[in-house]
Amino acid sequence: MTRTAIVNYHIHKSYRQAFELDAGGVAGNLISPELAATSVVLEDNRTTTTPVSFACDAVEITPLETQALDFAGDSWEPIYDAELKAILQDRLGAREVVVFDHTVRVDDPEAMRKPARNVHSDYSKDGAEQRLIDLLGAEAAEEWAQGHYAFINVWRPVDHPINSAPLGFVRPSSIDPSDWILLDLIYPDRKGQIMGLVGNLKHEWIYQSKMTPDEVAIFNIYDNQGLASIAHSALDMVEDPNITTVRKSIESRTLVRY
Q: How far is CA 164 from the centre of its chain?
A: 17
Q: Which domains does the chain have, with CATH numbers?
A: 17-257 (2.60.120)
Whether pLDDT at 205 is above 90: yes
- pLDDT given for residue 69 in this prediction: 79
Q: How many CB atoms lie within 10 A of CB 1?
A: 5
Span 105-114, mean pLDDT?
A: 91
Cite the DSSP H helix spans in 17-150: 54-57, 77-92, 125-136, 138-145
Q: What confidence tens digit (pLDDT) does each residue in 211-237 have?
A: 999 999 999 999 999 999 999 999 999
Q: What confidence tens digit (pLDDT) does each residue in 116-167 have?
A: 999 999 999 999 999 999 999 999 999 999 999 999 999 999 999 999 999 9
Residues 12, 198: Cα–Cα separation, whole Å: 7
The angle, 0 to 180 degrees and rounded to 10, between the axes of the packed helices 138-145 and 125-136 is: 130
Closest CA to 169 of 84, 51, 252: 51
Nearest 5 degrees, angle CA 1-CA 219-CA 109? Answer: 70
Q: How far is CA 182 from the centre of its chain?
A: 16
Q: CB neighbours of 168 closer than 8 A, spacing ≥ 6? A: 5, 7, 40, 42, 205, 206, 207, 232, 233, 234, 235
Q: How many CB atoms lie within 10 A of CB 117?
A: 18
Strands (DSSP E) found in the chain:
3-10, 17-21, 30-31, 35-44, 59-63, 96-106, 120-121, 149-157, 167-170, 180-186, 191-197, 205-207, 215-223, 232-234, 248-257
Amino acid found at 91: R
**pTM, entire model:** 0.94
